[in-house]
Structure 1
Amino acid sequence: MATTTVEDLPADVLACALRRLDGRSLAAASCATAGLRALAADRETWRALCLARWPSLAARPDLFLSASPQRLFADAFPFPCADGAVPLSGAESQQQLPGELVSAVDVYHSGAPLLSRVVGTSTSSSWFLTSPFCVDAVECKNPAPVGRTVPPAELELSWIVMDPRGGRAVNVSSRRPVAVDRHWYTGETLVRYAVVLGGCKFEATVTFSEETGHIREVSLAVEDADGAAVSGEGSLRLLLAAMAGPRKGGEEEVEAAKGRYQEFVRSKRGRKESKARKEVLVDLCCSAVSAVAVLSFIAAVVLR
């Protein structure tokens, strides 16, 4: 008796079924057979998946011209490997630095998008290269309403950074919060999302007012292991290395991102305490030397 396989179905039926899969399932199906791979490579299917996952991309359809939707999904959906983002250096890497970065930012609650923004950042000026890296997706002057009943700790954030010229992208958000704090002065809730790349922390902060139900600010900044802000040029090198580096998928990576953030915070605190102890020791040594010098001077005057 002849064996019937899924590929015996008409091609249009198979294509319709594949369009109902999510990105991970579609990628897995494309690895099964050559026929499924050809059907799963449909550009419009992957474009629809990208727009469903990241509604903000609808504002920049030109981004699908520099990179195929399938490549964009493969770059942006998984997490970058923390150890794979070794910063580029040298004159050759200077020529590779992109002239623009595009941030696609989406805030969700229970899978429903609440806020979608696309921010273009010019990276060619000397001001950007030498200043601390910071991107604002929502500014305090123009808050976004999301509803007072949304628990801040349940907000999810997707922040994708893209290089339009190179056609590559990378996810720089832990998706779920790694920490929830209160602003000491305003009382607003600070929901933090972070990934650690190349020994530096990319931290996105959502400032949420529970009183008014507005997202007042969404920003991304980069910090090194000593707690100092990383410059625009240094951040570009980290991002390019992460775009070219390996990726990790799976739900467990969400928890792993939180663990790496907590380890980064502990390490920074330890380095700060060690630096403080060294400064105290140096101060004591300087005080001792000064005391010896004063006593020697007094002794010299008395014994003259």
Structure 2
Amino acid sequence: MMSSSKAATSTAAAADQSGERNSLTTIHPDIVQSHILNRLNGATLASTSCASVHFQSLCNDDRLWQRICNSTWPSTAHPHVRSAVSSFPSAHRSFYSDSFPSLHNTGDLHRQGKRCPIETSELISAVDIYFDNKPIYSKILKTETLSSWFMSSPFRLELLHPKETISTPIESGAGGTCNERAAEHLRVSWILIDPARKRAVNVASQRAVEARMHWLNEDLQLRYATVAVDIRGNPVQCAVVVKCGGEELQVKEISMQVEDMEGKILGGMDSLVILRGAMDGERRRADVAIEREIYEMFRRNKEDFRERKQRRERGLDMAFIATGISIFFAI
């Protein structure tokens, strides 16, 4: 008797759940999209698309993903970015999947970038600056990548004009307090888009992984860096550097470059291969603590590399001096 009662209760619950699902599918799709789905963020919308075939078709509407991309990164509303993203396999959803997670450093990145048969004719940078997660500045930058000048020159993208500055909500006050607020509350997103290969990657870390004062002019330098690998599998950093100064801590410079273990800015050809590999590589959920840990590991390896190099150079100098003395006495 008890088992029959439990079975009846289970059947009724299943029927209720089934009825609830059926009732959701009877709502007009325009109502679901305009009053429910358009209120979701990207991660929730992606999860909702897995609920059923019906919701998958509704959640794949590019207008929903375009709204999410434009609200997350205002720079993506620019016509050049919209045109490039429209050719992605799933348009704005593909772009969001490429750009929202954090770059994951793996040993396969350099091989992926090196074997890519499609030439990259230009890169589009979609850059946004936030204060307390509110956008305060957006800009796009187009960079051609086929000229011999680009291939042989150091890869360094400058976002601002020489006399252009960006105001921040940080009021003037004690220098240390202003710098701490800037490091804590300023955030940068730098998305590189390859229209030819229909891929993108966000090369900036979620938060500043390093903050330091310039010894000469006392400007604050914030570094938003992620770690990738070069064509030999050695770690490199994709660094977005923001320089701030003035009484109200205005942003004076924003640049993006790829640096090796010696701190040298790599050339266009090597940087392009690394960035291709990063675009084709894995992504992971953004985590500020993990990004800082990875950067600290890179920085320690960089210091160890510098010390080993200095020891080798000192050893070579001593060997040359000893050889010279031996030759002198032999003569």
Q: TM-score, normalised by structure 2?
A: 0.84
Query: Match for residue 86 of structure 1?
Result: 110
How far residue 227 of structure 1 moved from its aligned partner, in angstroms, is 2.4
What root-mean-square deviation, in Å, do the aligned CA atoms of Structure 1 and Structure 2 show? 1.8
Matches within 5 A, 1:99-138: 99-138=121-160
Residue 162 in structure 1 maps to residue 193 in structure 2: yes
Q: Counterpart of 1:268 in 2: which secondary structure?
A: helix
Residue 205 in structure 1 maps to residue 236 in structure 2: no
Query: Match for residue 257 of structure 2?
Result: 221
Q: Distance in 2 between matches of 1:183 and 1:222?
A: 21
Contact 1:85 1:242 in 2 (8 A): yes
How far residue 7 of structure 1 moved from its aligned partner, in angstroms, is 5.3
Q: Distance in 2 between matches of 1:107 and 1:179?
A: 17
Query: Match for residue 53 of structure 1?
Result: 72
Deviations 1:50-86 (Å, cap 9, x if unpaired)? Answer: 0000001122332332220000000000012211422
Contact 1:78 1:248 in 2 (8 A): yes
Matches within 5 A, 1:56-67: 56-60=75-79, 61-67=82-88
Q: Distance in 1 between matches of 2:22 and 2:155?
A: 50
Q: TM-score, normalised by structure 1?
A: 0.91
CA distance 1:87–1:131, shift in 2 (3 Å): farther
Q: Distance in 1 between matches of 2:281 and 2:57?
A: 26
Percent identity, please: 31
Query: Match for residue 230 of structure 1?
Result: 266
Residue 71 in structure 1 maps to residue 94 in structure 2: yes
Matches within 5 A, 1:135-284: 135-149=157-171, 151-153=181-183, 154-198=185-229, 199-249=235-285, 251-252=286-287, 254-284=288-318
Number of paired residues? 293
Where in structure 2 are there 5+ consecutive unaligned residues? Answer: 1-11, 172-177, 230-234
Contact 2:113 2:278 in 1 (8 A): no
CA distance 1:237–1:186, shift in 2 (3 Å): same
Moved more, 63-72 or 156-165: 63-72
How far residue 263 of structure 1 moved from its aligned partner, in angstroms, is 1.1
Amino acid at match of 1:286: F
Amino acid at match of 1:25: T
Q: Counterpart of 1:19 in 2: which secondary structure?
A: helix
Contact 1:87 1:238 in 2 (8 A): no
